Copies of this chain bind each other. A is one copy, B any other.
Amino acid sequence: MLIKDIGEFALIERFKRKIKTDSSVIKGSGDDCAVLKLDKQNHQLFTCDMLVEGVDFTLKDNSYLVGRKAIAVSLSDIASCSGKPRHCVISLGLPKNTSLSFVDKLFQGMLDIAKKYKVNIVGGDLSRSSKVVLDVSMLGEVEKKYLTLRSGARVGDIIFITGELGGSISGKHLQFTPRIKEARFLSRNFKVKAMTDISDGLTSDLGHILEQSNAGAVIYEALIPLSGKARNLSDALNNGEDFELLFTLSRPQALKLLKRKLSIFRPIGEIRERKYGFQLIDKRSRPVNIKPKGFKHF
């Protein structure tokens, strides 16, 4: 039996089931970040993301942007939990025939985005490998009252996203803006019920919120903002790596947000009861059952 026969998510579940954690762990694996006890006011956030040549980038990509992305994906996880990024370590596997200029640009991409988001690069590990591999682990902090998880969505909540979807395949995955600022704005001014980032794809990531919140949902095709670079609706629904925020607000809070007329936040649907399932209402008002279909590694 091979791992591709059981699939990525079943493989993760298989492992997760066996893990036991102590009382210092508020939330273990299964959300965008682990949440750990820190002090009276704050939790600590802890996340890791691995990028692999040939899967997450190619050697034809600008290595400055590859380095940037390696840090940005973890920033996006910290944003999902409404946190402030603080420290990171970087493991890097490189073929020995890698050119110095490739690595210099890779490093510069990391340094620049770390500086911009005030993350301290505090350590790393360098290894020989046959393909380029980058793994960034990041720590963040979040005020207890601001923490957002995937599990807080409730029936009647309005579902929002930031930005536009479906541009990932045309290069956005290497140049996206981690939504730290937007997440902090939301957590400071609104009561965000559930939040995650769109890394696997809208249907897949909303699926995670629904599963962890034990809820259903309806989203409206007409409300989904397509990137000018999306080829079709499926790019917006099922492509990963848009790295936009996906979150829910109670109806009164949603109205309050909409009154601010901030074009970056757009409502796309509503949380329903679990038994309702997960539906898309298409442009002709026909309901279509959605099966989450995001990027899978296996």
Contact = CB atoms under 8 A, between A and B. Distances in A.
Contacts of A123: 28-29, 33-34, 46-48
Interface stretch (A2-10, A203-211, A244-252, A277-285): A2-10
Contact of A87 (B25, B96, B115, B121): B25
Contacts of A86: 24
B99 A2 contact: yes
Interface in A228-277: none
User: What band does the interface of chain A fall in when counting residues whose beta carbon is under 8 Å from B?
Assistant: 35 or more
A188 interface: no
A186 interface: no
Contacts of A185: none
A129 interface: yes
A137 B98 CA distance: 25
A36 B220 CA distance: 46
Contact of A48 (B22, B39, B90, B101): B90
Interface stretch (A51-59, A153-161, A175-183, A189-197): A51-59
Interface string A38-54: 01000000111111101
Lowest 4 CB-CB distances: which A-B pairs, in order?
A: A137-B137, A34-B122, A50-B91, A135-B135
Contacts of A145: none
A289 interface: no
Contacts of A18: 107, 111
Contacts of A1: 99-101
25 contacts: A1-B101, A3-B94, A3-B103, A4-B97, A11-B103, A15-B107, A19-B121, A22-B118, A25-B122, A29-B124, A34-B87, A34-B89, A36-B87, A46-B123, A48-B90, A48-B135, A50-B127, A50-B133, A52-B93, A52-B127, A91-B137, A93-B133, A128-B297, A128-B298, A129-B133
Nearest to A103: B3
